[in-house]
Amino acid sequence: MGKSFDIGLERLTGTGVPRIGETQDGGVKPPLHNAGRQEAGATLVASFEEKNRTLKGAGCGTHDSEGSTFYLETFGCQMNDHDSEKVAGLLLARGYRQVDGPEAAKVILYNTCSIREKAAQKVFSRLGELRPADEQDGKSFNTEDTEREHRVHRDGRVLEKNHPSQRKIVNAGGGKIIGVLGCVAQQEGEGIFERAPWVSLVCGSASYRKLPQLIAELEAGNRRVTGLDTDTDETFETEITRRDNPWRAYLTIIEGCDKACSYCVVPFTRGPERSRASASILEEVRRLAEAGYSEVQLLGQTVNSYADPSARKMRFSELLAAVAEVRGIRRVRFTTSHPRDFGKDIVEAIEAHPTLCDHVHLPVQSGSTAVLRAMARTYSREEYLEKIGLMKAARRPISITTDMIVGFPGETEKDFEATLALLDEVQYDSVFAFKYSPRPNTPSLKMADAIPEEEKGRRLAILMDRQREIQRVRNERTVGETFEVLVDGKSRRENQWSGHTSSNRVLNFTSPEQELLGDYVQVKVVSAMPNSLVGEMVGRA
């Protein structure tokens, strides 16, 4: 693989782009994990246009598509966000210019998520907006965006979005190329051409390296192209990644998943586990540090199942330690960890390296061993609690967050109560809770005793109420404490800033300083809500 480098480094200020962790229509992204959120009012710090200009100024890559424009919208988790950063890098390097709306784009790409039914529907809603006039034959095509996502935030709000689309219908005529990328592409394959004949490109994540070639084939006159292999040994690394955040860099270290949880589409849509060689990861981290990034976030569907394919055979905990020691890196996060592969060595690495953030996202899914067995999660409630015990015994406090699914087929009231009791026992700092959504090809699709939607909704509401109260109490205990914060947002209101603590809490604070974005500062907490803290800056870190 050629030497790769990164160009999203500039500390530019600007508005008009989605906030970190949000979809472009302002909705909240579902997790791979919960890192990287920003509070309302904070602004992101680089605009697409500015970054594109910078790239062109850098004179990198070939410019064989000079003048062409692309629009790329991303749904789903951080892995999708990061894949999109790499896709954008690929296209920018070939002379494409990124625009922030489909109207002005020659190539329109949707990087999709199919983890739950409503997430998958969303792309068809977007495609409906692009239907060309000659396809408007009276067939109904849903353009309502009805995705609902639920998260208990630390400020107690239950974020639920259900925003009917107010979006403009864009006529896809005029030679536009419309492509569906990611999990829906992999899952639906060529079926997408039947549902939306104005789509001409369908490409899963394992084939993204081929994207420029696929687009070139369409430009040369091919009507439809696909990239749907999943059996590649390659991880998706590009020569140029156009990173969205100027301080925090995502870095995928393992692709795919071999775990086969009975409800989950990921093994079908992202293929088998493939890890990236440790030396290549460390080289990229060093380059990121030199380029001014101070936080790296190692990504994988099961990041801690990392298996170094090189002769070095670094364990995940050794890799964490090595990344933590890279000069210039002040924070290292990793997500998502699978409980089966979570061991004492990871906790020991966190204890030994203050650079490793004191936060672990460890999805449990259910508090009932019977449900965990039906989910094929490979651990019991007790085994999961042992892993939690390792973290609770650590020499510095580790913030623990999780994912939960309610209403899995056969989940009894007693099973659900076991999940609620787990909340009380573990005392999570944040929980992403989902109603079970039946997915194609998954074993749980055929399981008996489906739970009615209404009952799933009831259980979800109870769970979130319980968790909100836990977060309120836990956050109130931090009042009076001082935390180091990486400042990543500036409010429109004067003297108002926001950032994240090492434990990934959002801390909104006041400071009369003029320029703090990207800096590490000390902030004293003066009040707390279930989802965020409020404080005042007391010094530089």
**By the rule CB under 6 A, 302 interacts with ligand SAM:** yes
Could you tell me which stretch among 223-231, 255-263, 341-349, 512-520 binds ligand SF4 (CB under 6 A)?
255-263
**272 phi/psi in degrees, rounded to 5:** -70, 165
Compare residues 361 and 468 and give the one whose CB is closer to ligand SF4.
361
CA dihedral 184, 186, 191, 192 (to 10 degrees): 50
Q: Does residue 528 sit in helix, strand or coil?
A: strand
CA end-to-end span of the chain: 38
**By the rule CB under 6 A, 264 interacts with ligand SF4:** yes
Binding mask 283-302 for ligand SF4 (x = CB under 6 A): ------------------xx
In the complex, which residue's CB is closest to ligand SAM?
Answer: 363
183, 27, 165: which is closest to 112 by C-alpha? Answer: 183
Could you tell me which stretch among 120-128, 219-227, 434-442, 530-538 binds ligand SAM (CB under 6 A)?
434-442
**51 phi/psi in degrees, rounded to 5:** -65, -40
**By the rule CB under 6 A, 301 interacts with ligand SAM:** yes
Give the residue ranges of DSSP H helices in 375-490: 381-392, 413-426, 453-476
**By the rule CB under 6 A, 436 interacts with ligand SAM:** yes
Among 9, 261, 364, 404, binds ligand SF4 (CB under 6 A): 261
**By the rule CB under 6 A, 149 interacts with ligand SAM:** no
- Cβ 364 to ligand SAM shortest distance, Å: 8
Could you tell me which stretch among 141-149, 195-203, 378-386, 430-438 binds ligand SAM (CB under 6 A)?
430-438
Which option in ligand SF4, ligand SAM, none does residue 267 bind, with CB closer than 5 to 8 A by kind?
ligand SF4
Please name the helix (run of DSSP H) or strand (run of DSSP E) that holds residue 188, with its range, or none: helix 183-188
Give dist(CA 408, CA 210) in Å, integer.
Answer: 38
Among 38, 317, 336, 368, binds ligand SAM (CB under 6 A): 336
70, 144, 124, 131: which is closest to 102 by C-alpha? Answer: 70
Tell me how crowded residue 497 is: count the other CB atoms within 10 A of its CB: 26
Which option in ligand SAM, ligand SF4, none does residue 518 bind, with CB closer than 5 to 8 A by kind?
none
User: Prior bond to 482 cis, omega within 30?
Assistant: no
**489 phi/psi in degrees, rounded to 5:** -150, 145
**By the rule CB under 6 A, 267 interacts with ligand SF4:** yes
Give dist(CA 257, CA 299) in Å, integer.
Answer: 12
- Supply 73's token pair: 């919208």
- Cβ 271 to ligand SAM shortest distance, Å: 14
Give dist(CA 296, CA 333) in Å, integer.
Answer: 6
- Cβ 260 to ligand SF4 shortest distance, Å: 6
The binding site for ligand SAM (CB under 6 A) comprises 31-32, 77, 115-116, 263-264, 266, 301-302, 336, 338, 363, 365, 403, 405, 434, 436-437, 439
Footprint on this chain of ligand SF4 (rule: CB under 6 A) = 257, 259-261, 264, 266-267, 301-302, 338
